Amino acid sequence: MLKFVAVLLPAVCLATSSFAVDPKIKQQLQKLDPSERMEQSCDTEAMRKIAAEDGYKPDKVIAYTFSDPDMGENSIKAPGAVFRSKGDWYHLTYDCVTGPHHINVRSLDFQIGQKVPRDTWTKYYLYD
C-alpha cells in the first residue's frame, strides 16, 4: 500500500500543480498589484501556449483591446484580447485561472481568431 501511495501522490500533485514560472518572471510579477499580476501571468501563459501552435511566434498579448476582461477573484475571461506574432496582430479569446497569489496559472483555454486588419490598428492602439 505504501508503494501505491508513493507513486500516486506525485502523479496527483503533478496533475494539479500550477504551470512552472521562471524565478525571474516570478520576482517581477510579485512587484505588481494583484489584478495586474493576474493579467500578466495569464498573458504570459497565453504566449507560451500560442507559441506551441504551428506558425505563431507571439511576443505580446493584450487582454483588453476589443473589450474589457471579466475579472474574477482568481480568474480572467478575456473575450476581446489580441496577440502579436511576426508583426501581425490576431484576435484572441482566453479563460484563465490562477492560484490565490495570481502568479501560477492553473488552467488556460484559448482560441485564436482572425488577423486584425492593419488599417484598424491605430483605432485599437496596436503597433508594430
pLDDT at 22: 78
Q: What is the pLDDT of residues 89-116, one digit of tens each?
A: 999 999 999 999 999 999 999 999 999 9
pLDDT at 66: 98
Domain spans in the chain, listed from the N-terminal domain onward? 20-124
pLDDT at 23: 84
**What's the number of CA atoms in the CB half-sphere (13 Å) around residue 76?**
34
- All 3 cell numbers of residue 28? 517581477
Q: Which residues of the chain have pLDDT under 50?
A: 1-18
CA distances from 97 to 56, 77, 91 (A): 23, 9, 20
pLDDT at 19: 54
pLDDT at 4: 31
| pTM confidence score | 0.80
CA separation for the pair 6, 55 (Å, rounded): 41
